[in-house]
Chains A and B, each alone.
Chain A
């Protein structure tokens, strides 16, 4: 018995020593981590922009030899006006017309290329010559549960000085941009039997919107920021006026809209936006930009405009979104208020596009170095957070009504070239995956049988 106690004591001492070592090491390492910012070990994730040799062919995007070596990265898209993405009261039936966008990325030492492809069964929208942003953004409102509340609709339209017309007992169209009333449409109106349905489209009369695609580059410091932009008013702290304000107060506890529409919850982002009607060579409004007088009137750098007018090319615009709002970069505020004055780098963004077999294919090309203030500066070897947004103009998607990626996706600019992998046929992949699954199950069963032997 004595021997047993002795053994036990000795064992306990050994145990205490072992544990003391482990705990001391763990505590020491933990403390070092608290004092010095030491990185944690990472695993590879996200989209990779490989280093390639070659240059862009804007006339035929996607045809460049280097693209054939890279596979598409599939990004699923979700409706941004859905209760899954935003705390709004009801889903918007016309939001989220595009289920996915496919992405490839590469760079050649001085330029980055991003190739995107998405299905558009409505055909290309080149939008009418009425205005640079297309025809009036007229929201359609409806009541899925019965007749439309005309009293509320009247109040809403009057408050924002808009006209409207009735389609039938449950549907009506407000003539005029809903930008100041987006917040009310999302958070208040459904309580009163008026829901946002989408944007008014009439394909015969030509009332539809441009097709658009946007890439958002996150420039803030939040760890897991949301890529979904805020719904709000024309400026932060906007007060909903009059009776409408009182009605909002009943449900929201306040008649103040905290955010500006299009602002970001945390940090800032550079948005690259391609617009079929305006920044695409075949777009019906492209000619505005080749007109130097128009450019200068709209706050675009004169030297940049005149050299652009001599050799026009497809391009994309840069927008800045931050916690205070959404802004144009490098022009006087064509779409949104301007963040800068005229910038010589305005046309240093290139874009090629084509519509083929029901798909839009758009290639974004930009120097790695930021061409304008507030635009993202790209450094090889770094990882960036990107998000995607797509609008089908003929389906009634425009401005705040679109399809977006559910979250930011890491994009790494790799310093290496793509490995030469022979393309693997799909059946081989399927067989391989099935094989791996069977193998894993077999391994599990073997362990199981070992245990029960």
Chain B
């Protein structure tokens, strides 16, 4: 029989994961995506600014939740992860008052390299703990994340360790787009595989479809025959997601966006009504895909990827 204390711990850990997932999605929608777009929107700026404030709230809250989540992930090296991630998240904030250019000093560069390495190890740890079918369907997301991590270190090697490595980063532009597209399809497949017939999950799926469609359909209708709107929305995609794609592909991109929204929400429905594991997989997919296209200029991006990876690895071995 399972022990009470263990049951309580699982409950506690699951709640932390829900909070992590919720805050991460909020920071993505209201900060990472919204902030670059705010200066361009004709809508009243104060509404968007207050939405941006909620995004900032989420980032700060996320910086608190992540160390707790890592501390309770019973995985190898967890204390090292805890120390490095907490230092990278909060040490940087403290140092910015004492020594504003801290991020250029050698101890910080070394710490960032360590954080980078630990993030890669966490991704591998998570990948090896997935079931074969999950691994296959999550491979695009994993590759997206790994390619952005490789890009980061090449940059760091050249500028901070003064080791010249000349690999053009834009050579990765089209493979990345391909991974984004296949990722949308495989994630949707993962969500559909996990579907279980029950009153609530059918309702949940129906709602999820409505939400995804209400984002995709207007965008698709708006851009499918209208070159001008394609151009406008293409700039929004470029600014918000960091994806540069030809404007004619905006209708296709809007379908992909809809698939991502559907897959993420449907995976959450699976997690709530079917198997908790799906919530962990959602956290993994969402953090990997959404941080892959943005330069890793903030510690929180590394920390989020590490936290979701460790969480998946932990519940797989539990």
Contact B298 A48 (CB under 8 A): no
Most central of A42, A48, A381 by chain B CB within 10 Å: A42
Stretch at the interface among A68-76, A107-115, A332-340, A356-364: A68-76
Stretch at the interface among B55-63, B181-189, B255-263, B269-277: B55-63
Contact B235 A447 (CB under 8 A): no
Majority SS at the chain B contact face: helix
Q: What residue of chain B has the Cβ atom nearest to residue A27's Cβ?
A: B61
Contact with B along A249-285 (1 / 0, CB 8 A): 0011100000000000111000000000000000000
Cα separation A7 to B1 with both chains bound (whole Å): 14
Does B90 sit at the interface, judged by CB under 8 A? yes
Stretch at the interface among B95-103, B194-202, B207-215: B95-103
Cα separation A334 to B23 with both chains bound (whole Å): 53
Contact A84 B297 (CB under 8 A): no
Contact A266 B91 (CB under 8 A): no
Beyond A23-B19, A72-B164, whether A46 also contacts B155 by CB under 8 A is yes
Q: What residue of chain B has the Cβ atom nearest to residue A436's Cβ?
A: B117
Q: What residue of chain A has the Cβ atom nearest to residue B106's Cβ?
A: A419
Cα separation A76 to B245 with both chains bound (whole Å): 17
Contact with A along B30-65 (1 / 0, CB 8 A): 000001100110000000000001001111110111
Does B290 sit at the interface, judged by CB under 8 A? no
Cα separation A412 to B155 with both chains bound (whole Å): 13
Q: What residue of chain A has the Cβ atom nearest to residue B233's Cβ?
A: A87
Q: For the side of the interface on B, what is the size category?
A: 35 or more
Nearest CB in chain B: distance from A240 CB, A? 14
CB under 8 Å from chain A, chain B span 161-176:
161-171, 173
Q: For the side of the interface on A, what is the size category?
A: 35 or more
Does A370 sit at the interface, judged by CB under 8 A? no
The residues of B that contact A39 with a CB separation of less than 8 Å are 92-93, 96
CB under 8 Å from chain B, chain A span 39-72:
39-48, 69-72
Beyond A14-B8, A72-B164, A222-B36, whether A78 also contacts B93 by CB under 8 A is no
Stretch at the interface among A30-38, A119-127, A136-144, A155-163: A30-38
Given B8, B162, B170, B296, which contacts A421 in the complex, CB threshold below 8 Å?
B162
Cα separation A65 to B138 with both chains bound (whole Å): 50
Does B139 sit at the interface, judged by CB under 8 A? no
Does B74 sit at the interface, judged by CB under 8 A? no
Contact A406 B244 (CB under 8 A): yes
The residues of B that contact A31 with a CB separation of less than 8 Å are 57
Stretch at the interface among A287-295, A314-322, A438-446: A438-446
Contact B103 A44 (CB under 8 A): yes
Closest A-B pairs by Cβ, 7 of them: A41-B92, A87-B231, A71-B164, A444-B124, A33-B60, A30-B57, A76-B168
Known: A33-B56, A74-B167. 17 other contacts (CB 8 A): A15-B11, A27-B61, A30-B57, A33-B59, A43-B299, A43-B302, A48-B159, A71-B162, A71-B164, A76-B171, A83-B247, A224-B242, A251-B228, A416-B105, A419-B162, A447-B76, A447-B125
